[in-house]
C-alpha cells in the first residue's frame, strides 16, 4: 500500500496521462489507496485527483464490474458512508460525502455494463435512506478543505434500470421523496451549495419511473407545509433555516417543472408547476 504522498504523486501522473493506465500502475492497489484516503482533508487530492480518477476510470473502462462491486461494498460500509455518522463540523464528513459520490459512479458503470441486480439496487436504496436519516453535517463547502456535500447517489439509485425496467414500486419511490424532504427540512443551517438543485435530480428520477401520479406529487409538495406563515413563532434560528431551505427548494422545483420533459408520461409538469406557484405566492 502506498503512503498518502506516494499515492498523490501517482494520481497526478495518471491525471497528466489523461487517466490512462501506464506501465507500473497497479489498478487494484491504486483503488485500495484511493478508498483508504477517500476522506483526506486535502481537497485537491480528494476531489481533483481521487474522485476524478474514479470518475474517469469508470468512464474509460479501466474499472471492471468486479472491481466496482468491491468499491461499492466498501463505500456503503461502516468505515465509509457511515464513518463518524452523526457528527457535525468534523472532518469525517469528507469520508461520507465522497463515498456517496463514488457510489453514484457504480450506476454510471451499470448503465454501460449492467452488473447490478434488483436486489442490489433495493439494498443500496435502503442503505442510502438509512445514511440520510442519520447525517447531521449539512456543510457544502469547508474553507481550506473543499467540497463536502453529496446528493447524487440517491438520484442515480432512483433512476437505475434492470433489463430496461425501473426497480422500485410506488411505495419505495415515495420513500425516496420523503428522504429528499428530510434533507431539505434542515434546521441546522441554510444550504448554500446548490443542494436544492442537486436533490431535484432525485425527484426527476423518481418521476421518470412513471408510477407516481400528479396527486402523489402534489400531496408530497403539500407535506412540506409550504404555506406556513407562523415559522417565526418557532425556534430561531432553527425554524428560520428550515423556512429558507424549504422555500429555496420549492422555488427550484417550480422552475424544474416548468421545463418540458419527454421522460414523463404520468406526471404533468405543468400541473405540478402551477400548484407550486400557488403555494409560493400564497
CB 31 within 8 A of CB 38: no
Which pLDDT does position 102 carry in this prediction? 97
Give the separation between CA 223 and CA 229, rounded to whole angstroms: 15
Mean pLDDT, the chain, rounded, equals 93
Give the separation between CA 68 and CA 75, rounded to whole angstroms: 10
CB 196 within 8 A of CB 149: no
Residue 174 resides in a domain: no
- Mean pLDDT is lowest, of 54-58, 150-154, 263-267, 270-274, for 150-154
- For the stretch 10-69, pLDDT in tens is 999 999 999 999 878 999 999 999 999 999 999 999 999 999 999 999 999 999 999 999
Say if residue 10 is in the same domain as residue 94. yes
Say if residue 209 is in the same domain as residue 263. yes
Say if residue 163 is in the same domain as residue 203. no
- For the stretch 90-148, pLDDT in tens is 999 999 999 999 999 999 999 999 999 999 999 999 999 999 999 999 888 899 998 88
Residue 172 resides in a domain: no
Range of the domain at 247: 184-282
Q: How many domains does the chain have?
A: 2
> Whose CA is closest to 135, among 81, 98, 99?
81
Average pLDDT over every residue of 156-181: 96
Say if residue 12 is in the same domain as residue 94. yes
Say if residue 193 is in the same domain as residue 126. no
Give the separation between CA 141 and CA 158, rounded to whole angstroms: 26
Say if residue 209 is in the same domain as residue 81. no
Please say which residue of 138, 167, 196 terminates a domain: 167
Kindly list the distances between the CA atom of residue 147 and the CA atoms of 20, 97, 150, 191, in Å, as whole numbers in the listed order: 26, 9, 9, 13
Amino acid at each position: 500500500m502506498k503512503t498518502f504522498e506516494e499515492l498523490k504523486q501517482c494520481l497526478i501522473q495518471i491525471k497528466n496521462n489523461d487517466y490512462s493506465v501506464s506501465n507500473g500502475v497497479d489498478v487494484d492497489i491504486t483503488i485500495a489507496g484511493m478508498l483508504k484516503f477517500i476522506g483526506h482533508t486535502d481537497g485537491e487530492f480528494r476531489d481533483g485527483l481521487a474522485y476524478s480518477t474514479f470518475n474517469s476510470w469508470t468512464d474509460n473502462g479501466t474499472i471492471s464490474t468486479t472491481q466496482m462491486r468491491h468499491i461499492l461494498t466498501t463505500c456503503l460500509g461502516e468505515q465509509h458512508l457511515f464513518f463518524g455518522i452523526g457528527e457535525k463540523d468534523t472532518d469525517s464528513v469528507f469520508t461520507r460525502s465522497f463515498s456517496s459520490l463514488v457510489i453514484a459512479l457504480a450506476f454510471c458503470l451499470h448503465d454501460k455494463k449492467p452488473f447490478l441486480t434488483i436486489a442490489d439496487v433495493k439494498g443500496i436504496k435502503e442503505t442510502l435512506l438509512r445514511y440520510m436519516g442519520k447525517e447531521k453535517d449539512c456543510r457544502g463547502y469547508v474553507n481550506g478543505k473543499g467540497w463536502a456535500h453529496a446528493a447524487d447517489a440517491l438520484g442515480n439509485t432512483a433512476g437505475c434500470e434492470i433489463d430496461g425496467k425501473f426497480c422500485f414500486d410506488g411505495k419505495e419511490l415515495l420513500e425516496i421523496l420523503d428522504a429528499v424532504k428530510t434533507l431539505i427540512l434542515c434546521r441546522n443551517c441554510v444550504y448554500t451549495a446548490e443542494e436544492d438543485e442537486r436533490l431535484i435530480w432525485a425527484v426527476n428520477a423518481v418521476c421518470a419511473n412513471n408510477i407516481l401520479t400528479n396527486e402523489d406529487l402534489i400531496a408530497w409538495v403539500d407535506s412540506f407545509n409550504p404555506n406556513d406563515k407562523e415559522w417565526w413563532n418557532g425556534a430561531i434560528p432553527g425554524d428560520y433555516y428550515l423556512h429558507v431551505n424549504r422555500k429555496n427548494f420549492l422555488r427550484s422545483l417550480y422552475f424544474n417543472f416548468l421545463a418540458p420533459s419527454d421522460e414523463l408520461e404520468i406526471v404533468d409538469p405543468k400541473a405540478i408547476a402551477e400548484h407550486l406557484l400557488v403555494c409560493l405566492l400564497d
